[in-house]
Amino acid sequence: MKMRRYKLFLMFCMAGLCLISFLHFFKTLSYVTFPRELASLSPNLVSSFFWNNAPVTPQSSPEPGSPDLLRTPLYSHSPLLQPLSPSKAAEELHRMNFVLPEDTTEYFVRTKAGGVCFKPGTKMLEKPPSGRPEEKAEAGEGSSARGPARHLLSTRERSGGRGGRRKWVECVCLPGWHGPSCGVPTVVQYSNLPTKERLVPREVPRRVINAININHEFDLLDVRFHELGDVVDAFVVCESNFTAYGEPRPLKFREMLTNGTFEYIRHKVLYVFLDHFPLGGRQDGWIADDYLRTFLTQDGVSRLRNLRPDDVFIIDDADEIPARDGVLFLKLYDGWTEPFAFHMRKSLYGFFWKQPGTLEVVSGCTVDMLQTVYGLDGIRLRRRQYYTMPNFRQYENRTGHILVQWSLGSPLHFAGWHCSWCFTPEGIYFKLVSAQNGDFPRWGDYEDKRDLNYIRSLIRTGGWFDGTQQEYPPANPSEHMYAPKYLLKNYDQFRYLLDNPYQEPKSTAAGGRRSKGPEGRPLARGKLDVVEG
Query: Comparing C-alpha atoms, which of 311, 320, 430 is closest to residue 368?
Result: 311
| Tens-place pLDDT, residues 518-530 | 444 444 433 333 3
| Tens-place pLDDT, residues 442-456 | 888 889 999 999 999
Roughly what angle, to the nearest 10 degrees, separates helices 218-228 and 324-332?
Answer: 50
Is it the case that residue 49 has pLDDT exceeding 80?
no
- Residues with Cβ within 8 Å of 402's Cβ and at least 6 positions away in sequence, in order, are 337, 396
Q: What is the spatial distance between Cα 175 and Cα 307, in angstroms, rounded to a whole number?
A: 34
Inter-residue contact 389 to 395 (CB < 8 Å)? no
Which of these ranges, 87-101, 232-246, 287-301, 400-414, has the smallest mean pLDDT? 87-101
| Tens-place pLDDT, residues 319-378 | 999 999 999 999 999 999 999 999 999 999 999 999 988 999 899 999 999 999 999 999
Q: What is the spatial distance between Cα 45 and Cα 50, in angstroms, rounded to a whole number?
A: 9
Inter-residue contact 503 to 472 (CB < 8 Å)? no
Query: Comparing C-alpha atoms, which of 516, 464, 521 is closest to residue 498?
Result: 521
Average pLDDT on 488-507 reads 86
- Residues with Cβ within 8 Å of 149's Cβ and at least 6 positions away in sequence, in order, are 136, 137, 138, 143
Fill in the DSSP letter of residue 510.
T
What element of type H or E holds 315? strand 312-316
Task: Check the CA dihedral 307-66-136-166 and report its sign.
Answer: positive
Indicate the domain borders of the chain. Answer: 84-103+205-533, 108-131+150-201
pLDDT at residue 13 in the model: 79
Roughly what angle, to the nearest 10 degrees, separates helices 425-434 and 452-461?
Answer: 110
Is it the case that residue 393 has pLDDT exceeding 70?
yes
Inter-residue contact 432 to 450 (CB < 8 Å)? yes
Separation of first and last alpha carbons in the chain? 96
User: Is the N-terminal amide bond of 441 cis, ω within 30° of 0?
Assistant: yes
What element of type H or E holds 454? helix 452-461
